[in-house]
Amino acid sequence: MAKVNIPSFKLNNGLEIPAVGYGTWLGLDEKMEFKIQDASKLVEALSYAIDIGYRHIDTAHLYRVEPEIGQVVKKKIAEGVVKREELFITTKVWQHYHREADVEISVRASLKRLDMDYVDLVLIHWPMSISQDGVDEKIDYLETYRGLEAVLKKGLTKAIGVSNFNLEQMKRLLANCNVVPATNQIEVNLNLGQKELVEYCQSKGVLVVGFTTFGSMVPSRATPDSPEPKIDNLTMVTIAKKYGKAVTQVALRYLYQRGIATIPKSLSKNRVLENASIFDFELDKEDIAQIAKFDNGYRTDIPSFWQDYSNYPFEKIANPMQGIPLSLREWKNGANLDID
């Protein structure tokens, strides 16, 4: 069986986090409904990922697959493929649980679904606090973060951090926290370089973990009006050919060379292998300069239905989607509909 050898970044508390992890958000379909039918494919792809050497798994309460992940991990430990302490598992607290005391409830529920004693990292998924009914609860994310600090103290997680925090929110958090967040997980890709935010986080010892790192490049995400580079972009194809790699591998390698960890999601074994096979080449300065030109601030993930809520982190758009999809407010867990 093929194997990958994934190096790690060091977090500000000394823990090591593998530079490429496995993303587990299955996404929503055109009707904004959760793609539950993919849960069994995820189990297979994640099992394969662990077999070939992935050691970092990114999940969240929202993703409904914590039970499946727990089962795969348990099986791989029982088979002797991996030890729990060799894995780095991240989960996230959803917007309904932003009161200080609710954070622990959320983390304990994640641990129960994962069937684990601890996770390695817990993040505030988004800075907004929104109830299941879609009410803006206006809870300060500093309060939520205090809840995370308490959970860290109790040993339920080895590190804490945030996700989708913008520059102002990061500055305010860092000025008011006791434990510097280990990571900020944000969208970053060739179109959305996030230079200022990334440099700020890195200057403060906060590791940036990138999501949607292919942006709109891959066929499953490209739209008629999404910008270059698409997967067949000539500049990117030329660079990729030079190193004997795929355009997607160049995209992930570029982020790695910027000091950014990535968590690409794939249900295809070939792509799971390909996405982690980026540590045997190095982009040169000229190629880096060429690739940097694609940064035009274009965001792929725009949850505009949240844009009028307090602490929404991105610029507002002119014609936002109306109404938060029910699938982002109420759910049961993955294939295990009886849990939660």
Residues with a catalytic annotation lie at: 63
The residue range among 20-28, 144-152, 166-174, 287-295 that interacts with ligand NDP, by the rule CB under 6 A, is 20-28
The residue range among 4-12, 140-148, 191-199, 261-269 that interacts with ligand NDP, by the rule CB under 6 A, is 261-269
Q: List CB contacts of 316: < 8 A, sequence separation 6 or more.
A: 304, 307, 308
Q: Within positions 263 to 282, which residues make up the interface with ligand NDP, using CB under 6 A?
A: 263-268, 271, 274-275
Residue 166 contacts residue 176 (beta carbons within 8 Å):
no
Between 163 and 169, name the residue whose CB sits nearer to ligand NDP. Answer: 163
Tell me the number of residues near ligand NDP by CB under 6 A. Answer: 26
Residue with token string 């040169």: 284
Between 181 and 264, name the residue whose CB sits nearer to ligand NDP. Answer: 264
Helix (H) or strand (E) holding 111: helix 100-114
Residue 310 CA from chain centroid, whole number: 22
Contact flag: residue 223 with ligand NDP (CB under 6 A)? no
Instruction: For residues 77 and 244, give the distance between their C-alpha atoms in angstroms, rounded to a whole number.
Output: 35
Task: Write down the least CB distance from residue 175 to ligand NDP, Å.
Answer: 23
The residue range among 66-74, 102-110, 138-146, 215-223 that interacts with ligand NDP, by the rule CB under 6 A, is 215-223
Contact flag: residue 193 with ligand NDP (CB under 6 A)? no
Instruction: For residues 176 and 173, give the distance between their C-alpha atoms in angstroms, rounded to a whole number.
Output: 5
Between 113 and 125, name the residue whose CB sits nearer to ligand NDP. Answer: 125
Between 15 and 267, name the residue whose CB sits nearer to ligand NDP. Answer: 267
Whole-Å CA distances, 132 to 38, 127, 172, 176? 24, 16, 27, 28
Using a 10 angstrom Cβ sphere, with 0-12 exposed, 13-18 middle and 19 or more buried, the burial of residue 175 is exposed
Contact flag: residue 211 with ligand NDP (CB under 6 A)? yes
Task: Write down the least CB distance from residue 303 to ligand NDP, Å.
Answer: 9
Contact flag: residue 24 with ligand NDP (CB under 6 A)? yes
Instruction: For residues 209 and 256, give the distance between their C-alpha atoms in angstroms, rounded to a whole number.
Output: 10
Between 28 and 317, name the residue whose CB sits nearer to ligand NDP. Answer: 28
Instruction: For residues 36 and 188, give the distance between their C-alpha atoms in angstroms, rounded to a whole number.
Output: 26
Q: How far apart are the first and last CA of the chain?
A: 37
Beta bridge partners of 9: 17
Q: Which pair of structure tokens corresponds to residue 97?
A: 């649980």
Instruction: For residues 161 and 280, give the distance between their C-alpha atoms in angstroms, rounded to a whole number.
Output: 30
Q: Within positions 293 to 322, which residues make up the interface with ligand NDP, using CB under 6 A?
A: 301
Q: List CB contacts of 166: < 8 A, sequence separation 6 or more.
A: 127, 197, 313, 314
Indicate which single residue of 15, 180, 218, 339 sits in contact with ligand NDP (rule: CB under 6 A). Answer: 218
Contact flag: residue 163 with ligand NDP (CB under 6 A)? yes
Task: Write down the least CB distance from residue 80 to ligand NDP, Å.
Answer: 27
Residue span 125-154 as binding mask against ligand NDP, x where in contact by CB under 6 A, dash where not? x-----------------------------
Between 71 and 249, name the residue whose CB sits nearer to ligand NDP. Answer: 249
Instruction: For residues 294 and 297, give the distance between their C-alpha atoms in angstroms, rounded to a whole number.
Output: 9
Positions touching ligand NDP (CB under 6 A) are: 23-25, 58, 125, 163-164, 185, 211-214, 218, 220-221, 248, 263-268, 271, 274-275, 301
